[in-house]
Structure formats: C-alpha cells, structure tokens
Amino acid sequence: MPGSRKAEKDDKAVITRLHQFLKDFSFDFKDEALLKQAFTHSSYVNEHRHESQEDYERLEFLGDAVLELMISQYLFKHFPEMSEGDMTKLRAAIVCETGLVQFATALSFDEKIFLGRGEEATGGRKRPALLADVFEAFIGALYLDQGLNEVNRLLESVVYPKISDGTFSHVMDYKSKLQETVQRLNLGELDYDVVMENGPVHHREFLSKVLLNGQTIGTGKGHSKKDSEQSAARAALKTIDD
C-alpha cells in the first residue's frame, strides 16, 4: 500500500540520518537495536507491535542519572569557588527541559525520531518534552553501549561549551556577588565594557570585561551582553579569590 511504502521510506531516511550522526561523532555503536530504541516514541511502538520494538522511556530514566552525574562532575572540577547550593542550582538549569531541548536541537534530534503517524501529524517531532526525553534516552544508550568516556566526549562537544560560555549564567547572579565582594572588601569601583561583538545577528557573540578601578580583572563571552558580563564577573570573582 502507498501509505506503508511511504512509512518504510521515512524509516529508512531516519536510520540513514542516525548513521550519519554516529559517523560525524565517530561513534561505533555495537547494538543497533539499542540505538533505535533511544529514538523510538511509544506512538511508533503502538503502530508497529509486530516488530517487538521498545520505546525510549527506560533509557531516558538511565540517561537522566548519567547526565546528572557527568554534569555534577564537570561543575565540581571547573567551578572550585562555587558552593554546593549554587552547583545544585546551576545543574538544575542545565538539565531542565529547556536546556535539554537546546542540546537535542543542536544535534538535530528532531529529524532522527521514530514517531507514530498521529504524533507526527500533531507536531510531536518539535515538542519540547519529547526532544528532552530523546536526548536523555540517547545518553542512556550511549552509556550502555560505549561507556562514560564516550558520553563525556559528546558532552564536551555539545553541553560543556554552553556552560562555559555563560548560556546558563542567568541562574547565577555573578554580577551581584562580585559587587557584594568588592563592597565588603572595600576594593573600589566596578565597571563593565563590551569590547567585541562577533557573528551573525541570530547567533551574536559578545566579549565583555569587568574593570576594578580602571583595571581589567575578568573577561567573559556570551550570546547576549548580559551573559557576557555575567561570565566576566565570574572570572573576576575567581581572580579576587586567588
């Protein structure tokens, strides 16, 4: 039937995109069924009962735990000045639905999901909760098939750079902390200056510096002026602590 032929063709296209994704990251998946499961929504399983296919929900559960572990380790190592409470707050912002959707979108995971026809017709491929779930499910599958080192390699490419460039700095008010520290120690007067703007309008990158009594004590990048200033303030706090 024409409909079944189209569905089969669509599935093959998804598999091709999955294999290209693995090739781009030099992942050598051993268990093809596990890989497909990570991208299979329950609506697809319901429409393909004869295939004995599992959906991604169990892998999502595992991936959530693996992701929290790896993010916690990264924050512990790279933010030695950060308190336990602040690390918890920052980690929560990174692994919340909004953060996970950013990562899934960066990897074009919306194009790699096996969906049922009904879910497809109602725009499920772009649904934030679904994209967040698939990202966690893939992390779970990657961990099972390749181990933590390969999970870390993916995060080094997709997640960690967004942490370091200030994407999640809105949850951490470093500027206020810096101001309080400078006032408490009676160090002088703070000022911020955007020294450079790069990139296209839709993906602008700013470089800011924070000055104490006219001397630069920290620089930082971000995709908005505010984020770059927060990043600069974080660097300045580290300078003062040192």
Catalytic residue of the set 119, 136, 227, 229: 136
Q: Is 153 helix (H, G, I), strand (E, B) or coil?
A: helix
Show which of 149, 164, 179 is a domain's final residue: 164
How confident is the model over 117-156, as pLDDT tens digits? 888 888 888 899 999 999 999 999 999 999 999 999 999 9
**Which conformational region is residue 19 in: left (phi greater than 0), alpha (psi within -120 to 50 degrees), or beta?**
alpha
Q: Quick one: 66 and 83 in the same domain?
A: yes
The yes-or-no verdict on residue 1 having pLDDT over 50 is no
Write out the E strands in the chain: 190-198, 205-212, 215-222
Which contacts (CB < 8 Å, 24+ apart) does range 59-62 have? 59/34, 59/136, 59/137, 59/138, 59/140, 59/141, 59/144, 60/133, 60/134, 60/136, 60/137, 60/140, 61/140, 62/140, 62/143, 62/144
Residue 192 near residue 208, CB atoms below 8 Å: yes
Q: What is the mean pLDDT of the chain?
A: 89
Write out the E strands in 65-204: 190-198
Q: How many domains does the chain have?
A: 2
HSE, CB side, 13 Å, CA atoms: give it for residue 184: 8
- What is the CB neighbour count within 10 angstroms for residue 224? 15
User: Range of 61's domain?
Assistant: 2-164
Residue 46 near residue 116, CB atoms below 8 Å: yes
Question: What's 90's domain CATH number?
Answer: 1.10.1520.10
Answer yes or no: 64 catalytic.
Answer: yes
Q: What percent of the chain has pLDDT over 70?
A: 95
Q: Report the pLDDT value the prediction gives residue 7, as an integer from 0 to 100.
A: 65
Q: Quick one: 133 and 188 in the same domain?
A: no
Catalytic residue of the set 55, 60, 64, 133: 64
Q: Quick one: 101 and 149 in the same domain?
A: yes
HSE, CB side, 13 Å, CA atoms: give it for residue 31: 14
**pLDDT-based confidence at 3, cuts 50/70/90?**
very low
The yes-or-no verdict on residue 225 having pLDDT over 90 is no
Show which of 164, 184, 204 is a domain's final residue: 164
Q: Quick one: 160 and 182 in the same domain?
A: no
Q: Quick one: 53 and 156 in the same domain?
A: yes
How confident is the model over 67-94, as pLDDT tens digits? 999 999 999 999 887 889 888 989 998 9
**pLDDT-based confidence at 11, cuts 50/70/90?**
confident
The yes-or-no verdict on residue 6 having pLDDT over 70 is no
Q: Quick one: 71 and 179 in the same domain?
A: no
Bigger pLDDT: 118 or 58? Answer: 58
Q: Is 133 exposed, middle or buried (0-12, 13-18, 19+ CB in 10 A)?
A: buried
Closest CA to 133 of 35, 38, 65: 38
Q: Quick one: 14 and 114 in the same domain?
A: yes
Show which of 117, 146, 164 is a domain's final residue: 164
Read off the pTM: 0.73
Q: Report the pLDDT value the prediction gives residue 13, as an integer from 0 to 100.
A: 87
Beta bridge partners of 194: 208
The yes-or-no verdict on residue 222 having pLDDT over 90 is no
Q: Quick one: 159 and 220 in the same domain?
A: no
Q: Quick one: 159 and 178 in the same domain?
A: no
Answer yes or no: 51 catalytic.
Answer: no
